[in-house]
């Protein structure tokens, strides 16, 4: 078996089709009672049996997520590494084979166009980008990459996520490869057979839990979803629980906690710009980012714990002594903590843990305080951890 699984649907990038579109598992979701909504231009399940129940199941066992709306890209050709480094603030010289890494797509003003994952394969680079920004990202990358570099959109590949403390227990009996699945640690990936189908599996995710992201041929999506969900530890999970899980994990969502007017320093995402690139630059927005690193940003993304039971949603005003100082970018009720939580941007002087603030929800003032994130501790399977 090679170190990369067979690339399916490798087509030169085209323009965005009209939506909403259907995913390979559309009928699979509907047959299982999925409540479908239009999200990022696709029909997707927001819930199956209920958001809180699905959230808690994922925290306790293993949740199966269909994330095939996200863009899967393959960048290859002579000089692909240098070309990607000119387009992204990533240090590819330290990216080992099969190792996914978080990075950012920035504009010339240092604003975030998207966040993404980059993995080195033997002959190129595998990128996973957000569904809502997929077509704009593809256009931006195509513009930035030289003509000699091939940018392929893997349209015939589906993408799943299996998340939760029992994810490895559920998935490992179903896969074969050159190493056991349990040998993968957080942010490592490899080629496997899932059943008898080629799959690329990385130990990563968007919930704060241990788990895996699984790229498979779209034509085999339903049979492989059946295979995974036949495991007693696994249930299908919708978008609602995915959002509450990532909020508890303190993970930002593009279009809400990140936008093209928000910089990585303010967003507390400077880890997405590797150390060498921070000093050397050479990527879009580098001069602005270097100034922000040197002088500090005016605002900072923070976590907020809210008193009472009422949740503060995106757009709610954040106040300090009756003066508006920020805006909630993500908020909701935390099923794990049984209390409302939120993320917001506030002035750096007010970003310290314990700072008292107030949130205005439709005229009702809710007491809140700045707290460290994540709200719920991450449980990634890191290398060297017990």
The answer to whether position 155 is within a domain reads yes
The answer to whether position 265 is within a domain reads no
Question: Does residue 89 sit in the same domain as residue 218?
Answer: yes
Model pLDDT, residue 384? 78
Question: Does residue 190 sit in the same domain as residue 328?
Answer: no
Model pLDDT, residue 16? 59
Phi first, then psi: give them for residue 155, nearest 5 degrees.
-70, -20
Q: What is the CATH number of the domain that holds 91?
A: 3.30.1360.120
Question: Does residue 242 sit in the same domain as residue 306?
Answer: no
User: Among 231, 248, 265, where does a domain finish?
Assistant: 248
Model pLDDT, residue 383? 87
Model pLDDT, residue 278? 96
User: Among 226, 248, 270, where does a domain finish?
Assistant: 248
Question: Does residue 227 sit in the same domain as residue 312?
Answer: no
- The rounded distance, in Å, linking the Cα atoms of 374 and 67 is 23
- The rounded distance, in Å, linking the Cα atoms of 280 and 378 is 32
- The rounded distance, in Å, linking the Cα atoms of 369 and 340 is 12
Question: Does residue 84 sit in the same domain as residue 227?
Answer: yes
The answer to whether position 321 is within a domain reads yes
DSSP-derived secondary structure for 51-96? HHHHHHHHHHSEEEEE-TTSEEEEEESTTHHHHHHHHSS--GGG--
Question: Does residue 142 sit in the same domain as residue 242?
Answer: yes
Model pLDDT, residue 266? 98
Nearest to 65 by CA among 176, 158, 153: 158
Own/partner contacts of 275-281, CB < 8 Å, gap of 24 or more, are 275/91, 276/91, 276/93, 277/85, 277/89, 277/90, 277/91, 278/89
Give Cα separations from 9 to 40, 70, 139, 209 (angstroms).
Answer: 21, 15, 19, 30
The answer to whether position 260 is within a domain reads no
| CA end-to-end distance (rounded Å), the chain | 30
Q: What is the CATH number of the domain that holds 304?
A: 2.40.30.110
Question: What are residue 106's DSSP bridge partners?
Answer: 112
Question: Does residue 221 sit in the same domain as residue 361?
Answer: no
Nearest to 267 by CA among 194, 337, 343: 343
Contact 343, 302 (CB under 8 A): yes
User: Among 248, 263, 278, where does a domain finish?
Assistant: 248
The answer to whether position 266 is within a domain reads no
Phi first, then psi: give them for residue 181, nearest 5 degrees.
-60, -40
Contact 163, 60 (CB under 8 A): no
- Tens-level pLDDT at each residue, the chain (386 residues): 334 444 444 444 455 566 699 999 999 999 999 999 999 999 999 999 999 999 999 999 999 999 999 999 999 999 999 999 999 999 999 999 999 999 999 999 999 999 999 999 999 999 999 999 999 999 999 999 999 999 999 999 999 999 999 999 999 999 999 999 999 999 999 999 999 999 999 999 999 999 999 999 999 999 999 999 999 999 999 999 999 999 999 999 999 999 999 999 999 999 999 999 999 999 999 999 999 999 999 999 999 999 999 999 999 999 999 999 999 999 999 999 999 999 999 999 999 999 999 999 999 999 999 999 999 999 999 987 65
Give residue 332's domain range.
299-375
Number of domains making up the chain: 2
The answer to whether position 68 is within a domain reads yes
The answer to whether position 256 is within a domain reads no
Question: Does residue 166 sit in the same domain as residue 79?
Answer: yes
Contact 202, 96 (CB under 8 A): no
Question: What are residue 104's DSSP bridge partners?
Answer: 115
Question: Does residue 309 sit in the same domain as residue 220?
Answer: no
pTM: 0.94
- The rounded distance, in Å, linking the Cα atoms of 12 and 221 is 22
Question: Does residue 30 sit in the same domain as residue 175?
Answer: yes
- The rounded distance, in Å, linking the Cα atoms of 106 and 244 is 26
Question: Does residue 90 sit in the same domain as residue 199?
Answer: yes
- The rounded distance, in Å, linking the Cα atoms of 180 and 188 is 13
Question: Does residue 26 sit in the same domain as residue 110?
Answer: yes
Model pLDDT, residue 4? 44
- The rounded distance, in Å, linking the Cα atoms of 103 and 116 is 5
The answer to whether position 279 is within a domain reads no
């Amino acid at each position: 078996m090679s170190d990369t699984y067979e690339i399916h649907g490798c087509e030169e990038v085209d323009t965005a089709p009209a939506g909403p579109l259907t995913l390979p598992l559309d009928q699979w979701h509907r047959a299982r009672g999925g409540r479908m909504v239009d999200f990022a231009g696709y029909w997707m399940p927001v819930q199956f049996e209920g958001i809180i129940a699905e959230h808690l199941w994922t925290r306790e066992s293993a949740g199966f997520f269909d994330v095939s709306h996200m863009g899967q890209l393959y960048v290859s050709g002579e000089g692909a590494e240098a070309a990607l480094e000119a387009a992204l603030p990533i240090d590819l010289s330290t990216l080992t084979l099969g190792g996914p890494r978080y990075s950012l797509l920035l504009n010339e003003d240092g604003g975030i166009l998207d966040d993404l994952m980059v993995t080195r394969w033997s002959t190129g680079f595998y990128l996973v980008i957000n569904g809502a920004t997929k077509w704009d990202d593809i256009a931006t990358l195509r513009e930035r990459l030289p003509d000699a570099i091939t940018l392929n959109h893997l349209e015939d590949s589906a993408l799943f996520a299996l998340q939760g403390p029992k994810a490895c227990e559920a998935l490992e009996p179903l896969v074969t490869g050159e190493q056991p699945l349990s040998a993968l640690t957080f942010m490592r990936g490899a080629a496997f057979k899932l059943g008898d189908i080629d799959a690329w599996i990385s130990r990563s995710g968007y919930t704060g839990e241990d788990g895996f992201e699984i790229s498979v041929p779209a034509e085999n999506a339903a049979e492989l979803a059946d295979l995974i969900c036949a495991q007693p530890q696994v249930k299908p999970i919708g978008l609602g629980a995915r959002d509450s899980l990532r909020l508890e994990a303190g993970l930002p969502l593009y279009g809400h906690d990140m936008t093209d007017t928000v910089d990585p320093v303010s967003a507390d995402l400077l880890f997405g710009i590797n150390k060498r690139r921070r000093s050397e630059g050479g990527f879009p927005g580098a001069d602005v980012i270097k100034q922000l690193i040197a002088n500090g940003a005016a605002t900072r993304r923070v976590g907020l714990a809210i008193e009472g039971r009422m949740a503060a949603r995106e757009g709610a005003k954040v106040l300090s002594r009756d003066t508006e100082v920020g805006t909630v970018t993500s908020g909701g009720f935390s099923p794990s903590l049984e209390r409302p939580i939120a993320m917001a941007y506030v002035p750096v002087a007010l970003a310290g843990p314990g700072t008292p603030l107030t949130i205005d929800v439709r005229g009702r003032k809710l007491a809140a305080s700045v707290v460290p994130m994540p709200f719920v501790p991450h449980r990634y399977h890191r290398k060297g951890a017990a």
